[in-house]
C-alpha cells in the first residue's frame, strides 16, 4: 500500500520543501543542528536504519514521528516514547473577529521567540526553528506574549506548531486566535493545515476538534539516543 505523504512527515519534509535544512545521506535525514532535533528515514530497511544511527549525536537526541512502528537501529535506544494524534483540518470552524493584534515575527524577534518557547515548552524548539515557516505573535507592552507558526512542510500540507502563551496571559484566547490565523494563512496558499499532539493531551485535542481538525492517523513519537 502506498504511504500517505504525512505518514512520514519529517522524512517527506526534509526531502522536499525543507531539503535546504537537511543533513544526512539518501536513506535518512535530520534537520541541521541549529534548526531542530527531528529526523526521518525512508523506510525500515537495514540501509535506512544504519543511516539513521549515524545521525544520532553522541551526546544528544533525535526525535522521530511516523505512522509506522519505529524500529531502533543497532546501538540506539529510546529515551522517550509516546503515541500522538495527527490531526488534519477539514473545515475551519472559527469566528472572523479577532480580539488581538497579530503580527508576523522575524529575525528581530528571534530571542524573544526562543525564550517564550523555553518557558512554555510547546515542543522541541531551537533558536533557528523559526526559519521553517511563517511565525505570528501577539505582543503587549512591546513584549511577545504568545506565538504560533509552521514546522514541517510538504507539497500541499503545512504543520501548525510552536503554539504557546506566556503563563501570565493564559485564558485570553491568544493560542486559539493564533492557531486560526496560521491555519488561514496556510489555507490561503492552497495548502492543508495539520498538527500533531500527544494522544494523552485530550484537552488540546478537544480544542482542535472544535476548530475543525480531525484525527487522520495515530503516530509513533520516539526520542533516540546512543545506547
In a domain, 1, yes or no: no
pLDDT score of 51: 97
Number of domains the chain contains: 2
Distance between CA atoms of 175 and 99, rounded to whole angstroms? 12
pLDDT band at 97 (very low <50, low <70, confident <90, very high): low
Assess contact for 86 and 216: CB atoms under 8 A.
Answer: yes
Q: Which residue segment(s) compose the domain that 144 sits in?
A: 87-217
Question: Per mean pLDDT, which range of 26-35, 42-51, 98-107, 133-142 is the poorest?
Answer: 98-107
Task: Give 130-147 pLDDT, tens digit per residue.
Answer: 999 999 999 999 999 999
Distance between CA atoms of 28 and 8, rounded to whole angstroms? 11
Instruction: Check which CATH number belongs to the domain holding 188 and give it.
Output: 3.40.630.30
Q: Is the pLDDT of residue 81 over 70?
A: yes
Residues 6 or more apart in contact with residue 99 via CB below 8 angstroms: 173, 177
Residues 41 and 80 in one domain: yes
pLDDT band at 1 (very low <50, low <70, confident <90, very high): low
Residues 6 or more apart in contact with residue 19 via CB below 8 angstroms: none
Residues 117 and 167 in one domain: yes
pLDDT score of 14: 97
Q: Is the pLDDT of residue 37 over 80?
A: yes
The larger pLDDT score, comparing residue 1 to residue 124, is at: 124
Residues 110 and 189 in one domain: yes
pLDDT score of 100: 86
Residues 14 and 60 in one domain: yes
Distance between CA atoms of 185 and 174, rounded to whole angstroms? 17
Amino acid at each position: 500500500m502506498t504511504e500517505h505523504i504525512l505518514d512520514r512527515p519529517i522524512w517527506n519534509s526534509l526531502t522536499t520543501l525543507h531539503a535546504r535544512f537537511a543533513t544526512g545521506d539518501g536513506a535518512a535525514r535530520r534537520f541541521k543542528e541549529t534548526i531542530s532535533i527531528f529526523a526521518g528515514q525512508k523506510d525500515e530497511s537495514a540501509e535506512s536504519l544504519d543511516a539513521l544511527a549515524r545521525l544520532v549525536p553522541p551526546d544528544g537526541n533525535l526525535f522521530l514521528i511516523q505512522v509506522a512502528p519505529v524500529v531502533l537501529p543497532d546501538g540506539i535506544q529510546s529515551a522517550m516514547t509516546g503515541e500522538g494524534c495527527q490531526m488534519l483540518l477539514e473545515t475551519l470552524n472559527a469566528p472572523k473577529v479577532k480580539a488581538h493584534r497579530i503580527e508576523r515575527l522575524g529575525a528581530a524577534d528571534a530571542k524573544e521567540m526562543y525564550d517564550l518557547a523555553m518557558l512554555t515548552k510547546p515542543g522541541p524548539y531551537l533558536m533557528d526553528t523559526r526559519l521553517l515557516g511563517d511565525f505570528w505573535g501577539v505582543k503587549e507592552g512591546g513584549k511577545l506574549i504568545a506565538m504560533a507558526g509552521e514546522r514541517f512542510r510538504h507539497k500541499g500540507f503545512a504543520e501548525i506548531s510552536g503554539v504557546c502563551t506566556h503563563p501570565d496571559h493564559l485564558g485570553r484566547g491568544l493560542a486559539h486566535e493564533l492557531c486560526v490565523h496560521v491555519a488561514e494563512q496556510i489555507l490561503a496558499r492552497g495548502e492543508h493545515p495539520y498538527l500533531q499532539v500527544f494522544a494523552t493531551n485530550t484537552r488540546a485535542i478537544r480544542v482542535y476538534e472544535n476548530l475543525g481538525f480531525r484525527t487522520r492517523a495515530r503516530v509513533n513519537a520516539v526520542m533516540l539516543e546512543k545506547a
